[in-house]
Amino acid sequence: MGDRTAFFYGTLMAQEVLYRVIFGTSTVSRYNVQTVTQTPAILHNHKRSRVRYCDYPGVIPSKGHSVRGTYVTGLTDGDIYRLDMFEGTSYELRGVRVRLLKSEGDEATGEGNVEGEEVETKTYIWIDEEDRLEDKEWDYATFRKEKLSRWSGGEPEEQGWDDDEEKTEDIDPTGGRFGNGQIAQDLEKEHEKLKQQGGDDGEPLKSAV
């Protein structure tokens, strides 16, 4: 078990995606279920928005807004290395403070949330052009229902677009994180290296750095 932590607010809220990135498999094993914990949490004074034509969001500092996500513990330096690869150059890992949720209320309004301990951690802040962020919230429930299959290693479904503008055909809604995308290929090579170094039983290394 590692001593690194992080707050995730987008696709990595899904255990299937998180495990695929750090362990190379979207399924639970005797290793990952014992080493990584996920706790509901909220990040205040930040705003989450959909990235235009993409399945995933970006978060930027914004007073008065809040973002609900998951606080993850047990991450290793190697996990963070792979997460950095996954997030790419549009994000920067920065220190933040989040409140753990004792009870989860309405996801959209926050009504019913019962906040508990405040902890220091890090999260991936959007540093690309802000005009790539839409003026609408990214919805986790919709992502799980309509988009999760291709992010967790399944076959991509037919995806609809509810944007006013028509998408450009050469835009990958995963940003290269699925299929033959560059990020997906880089992660696959990294996981193959871990398998060769870690043996055939599938136990992940503590660090790949």
Whether 64 maps to a domain, the answer reads: yes
Whether 115 maps to a domain, the answer reads: yes
pLDDT tens-digit profile, the chain (209 residues): 689 999 999 999 999 999 999 988 877 665 555 678 999 999 999 999 999 999 999 999 999 999 999 999 999 999 999 999 999 999 999 999 999 998 887 776 677 788 899 999 999 999 999 999 999 999 999 999 999 988 876 554 444 445 544 555 578 899 999 888 999 999 999 988 888 876 444 444 444 33
Amino acid at 92: E
pTM of the model: 0.84
Whether 206 maps to a domain, the answer reads: no
Could you report how far apart the first and last alpha carbons of the chain are, in Å? 16
Q: Can you read off the two tokens belonging to residue 73?
A: 């513990």
- Give the CATH number of the domain where residue 79 resides: 3.10.490.10
Whether 207 maps to a domain, the answer reads: no
Residue 95 domain boundaries: 4-198
- Number of separate domains in the chain: 1
Q: Do residues 28 and 143 make contact, with C-beta atoms less than 8 angstroms apart? A: no
